[in-house]
Structure 1
């Protein structure tokens, strides 16, 4: 894995404010790799090897949480992230708007 890309993605994740979320695609675009949303997910799955990052603030474009990560919802709720009835994050209310939050 390209270490420079790993640190770029993780530095962007570090910028997501409490109470906001970003999508994998959004992070890929911010890293100037718009077609690499899956690569972003792979990088985040290994983030703990590089330190502590607020990866719980990253969801898919529809607001779905990471399958099998039982604690993600609790972490987001503790930051007042709003969920819809279907269990997805309300992206209209909680998506990080770079430069606006």
Structure 2
């Protein structure tokens, strides 16, 4: 079931992803799958990943706040340098070990709960 926010325009999936990512509060993270489910495309987590890869040129999209379902920094290779994702997350309170957020559960922000 898609979220109730009117910014979801259904004409450009990547733009919908970016608008949703802009809503992730500082100090919180979400997953590709949670974004896909919120947008009504539950099996499109990989496509959300592609949208995040393309977000590098968009200054106000906090792409570092989107990780995989286990809290792994799976998109860090798309940051320049790759360590930038980890550094940004640490500045927001993430404890990271072996490319994974140790305090993932306490930082997790689920748009399917938070935005309904």
Same fold (TM > 0.5) = yes
Instruction: Quote how far apart the aligned CAs of 1:81 are.
Output: 2.1
For 1:52 and 1:24, the matched residues in 2 are separated by 18
Q: Partner residue of 2:36?
A: 28
Q: Partner residue of 1:88?
A: 100
Q: Which segments of 5 or more consecutive residues in structure 2 lack a partner in the other structure? A: 1-9
Number of equivalences: 98
Q: Partner residue of 1:42?
A: 50
| Aligned alpha-carbon RMSD (Å) | 2.0
For 1:63 and 1:78, the matched residues in 2 are separated by 16
For 2:56 and 2:76, the matched residues in 1 are separated by 17
Kindly indicate whether the alpha-carbon contact (under 8 Å) linking 2:76 and 2:85 is maintained by their aligned counterparts in 1: no
TM-score of the pair, normalised by structure 2: 0.74
